[in-house]
Structure formats: C-alpha cells, structure tokens
Amino acid sequence: MKVTDIDGWDKRGNPQKGFYMDGYLKSNLDGIPRFLKKGYDCVGIISGMGKVRIGKSTEGIQVGAYLAWLLAGGKMLCHQEVIDNKLKWIVDKIIKPKQKVRYRLKENIVFSAEQLMKTATKLYDKYGPNQVIVYDEGRQGLDSARAMESVNKGMEDFFQECGFMGHVILIILPNFFKLHEDYSIARSLFLINTYADKQFNRGYFSFYNEYQKEKLFYFGKKRIGIRAKYNATNPNFWGRFSGWTPFDKKEYESLKKKAIERKRKTRQQAKWKRQRDSAIYLIKKFAGISNRVISDELSIVSGQRISPRSIDYAISNITHQKIVED
C-alpha cells in the first residue's frame, strides 16, 4: 500500500505522492507515537542476514521516513478487504501532518555511535524529544570482536547519556546476533531482517516483535551458521519493500564512505600511537636514559618538538596497559 503524502515514485519511475510499504509493517509502526508519549524511547533494529548490500539501509531509511511523518502529525486511515480472493489493504484517507516533517540526510542520519550522541543532543536541544535518528553502522568488518565491542560500548554510552530524550533510534547493522543483548533484547522494540530471494533479488524482509525477537536471539545464539540462527523461530510476518528513499542515494553512499574512512583512519592512528608509546617505553626500560634526553633526541630526529611530559604520558600509557593485562 502507498503511505504518506511524501514525494515518491512508482515502479516505472513516475512521480507520485507516497511510497510503498507493507500494510502489516505500517500497522505495527502506527503505535509508536503513542508509545513515545508514555515517556519511553523507541529502538528498532534493521539487520541484513549477516550480509552487506542487501537493502537494509533502504528499508531502515523508509521506516524512518514513515515514523518522522507520523510524529509530525500525519495519519493513515485504512482497512483490509478481500479482492480477487486476496486480502488487501485499502487506504481510506490520508491526513497530512500538522507540523513540518523533520527528516533530512545530514540531520537525521548518522554513521557512528559518536555521531549518534551528538545528533541526539543537537536535535533534542533544537526541536525537543521524539526525533527520528537512523544509525547506519556501515562497516563491513562488524563480525570482528573489536568492531562490535566498539559498537556495543557506543550504545552503552548513548543510552546512559541520551536515553531520557525519547527519540526513535533505528540501528542498521549486518548481524542482529552480534549486538549485545542489553540493546538487541531489553532496549529494542522490534527487529526487521532484510534478505534476498533465491535469485538474489533484494526487497524482502521479516518482522519480529518484542516477543519473537527475544526468542530468535536466545534460540538463534545456540545454532551454528547465519541462516540457522535467523531460522531459529518464525517471524510475525514477511513482506516486501521497494528501492525508494527520500534521499539522493549517491550522496548517502558518499557520506557513508567518508564515515567508514574516518573510522579506518582513527583505528590506524590508535595503532600507530600504541606502537610509538611501546617504542618509547622500551627505550626507557633498556637504554636507561632520562625522559628529558629521550624527548630531546626524538625532537631532533622527528623535526617536531616533543616535550618530556609527552614522554611521561607515553610511558604511563604502556605501564597502565600492562597492569590491566596482568
């Protein structure tokens, strides 16, 4: 069924009002504004069967667009009717939003936990609670323990500092089972898993409400293989989604690519810093020279001023790390 009065297009690329959304998905999202009014925040997870380029970002953006439209005051009045022996959703009336729909690429879409916290605070200060934020964790290396540890730590920090703001947070990531259960189970309201059919066509999803999502997580954790995990229990329903987004896809992918590159550089810089501090620690330990001499010699070799205090800091970093590991 077509939802909202947002500018979209049909299958042939012709302009139209609204965009396609599965009727059952639409009906499950309709209650979220009432849920937020009770003082809660709303967290939804969109996964991709452990894969990339499967359509999870497109689906997450569409869900965000519909929720932003609802929170601005838009309403969809519809019913189900049997037509040609098939149960179909019929739209009776579309009530346009009373407020401006706040949903922009550079304002509501983030690609890191750090961005999420900054954006949540900025939107809260500017517009108040109940804003929609799509957190697209686009790194392909999320199966690594270190990458997921960073994501889970970021989510922990976010909910400690920003949970009271009552926003809608849509977390997009490849694998639902890699997210810590505090967020995958306790804090999230639903899971949408996107996948492709046997002919590798995108545009399919399965929906899990709170209860089914919890069953999927605990039963799936015991299984080996990504397909086995996602088949650990039945979803509430299956559906289709289109390729429409309210944003320019090239610009979206460009922003995501830049965010991934920034993360890669940050990790590389942290690695280099660790190696540098280790080298300074070894010089101090085995050469027996003072921090002042080390700073003077390194300043000459590097061509940059390195203070004795920086040497103290580097050595203390490694010493502290060794204590923690021991």
pLDDT in tens, 23-59: 999 999 999 999 999 999 999 999 999 888 899 999 9
List the beta strands (DSSP E) in 84-131.
Answer: 86-95, 109-110
**What does DSSP say about strands 86-95 and 75-83: parallel, antiparallel, or unpaired?**
antiparallel
Which helix (H) or strand (E) is 266 found in, with range? helix 249-287
pLDDT in tens, 102-145: 999 999 999 988 889 999 999 999 999 999 999 998 654 444 55
**What confidence tier does 196 reach under pLDDT thresholds 50, 70, 90?**
very high
Kindly tell me if the per-residue pLDDT of 97 is higher than 60.
yes
Torsion of CA 18, 24, 25, 26, to 10 degrees: 40
What Rg do the C-alpha atoms of the chain give, in angstroms?
A: 24
pLDDT of residue 114: 85
**What confidence tier does 322 reach under pLDDT thresholds 50, 70, 90?**
low
pTM (2 d.p.):
0.81
Neighbours of 104 (CB within 10 A): 11
pLDDT of residue 278: 86
**Encoded amino acid at 134, one letter:** V
Mean per-residue pLDDT, 298-322? 82
CA 303 centroid distance within chain: 42
**What confidence tier does 14 reach under pLDDT thresholds 50, 70, 90?**
confident
| More confident: 261 or 128 | 128
Kindly tell me if the per-residue pLDDT of 326 is higher than 50.
no
pLDDT in tens, 230-258: 999 999 999 999 999 999 989 998 988 88
Rounded Cα distance, 219 and 232, in Å: 6
* Least confident segment among 137-141, 162-166, 178-182, 207-211: 137-141
What's the mean per-residue pLDDT of the chain?
88
pLDDT of residue 312: 86
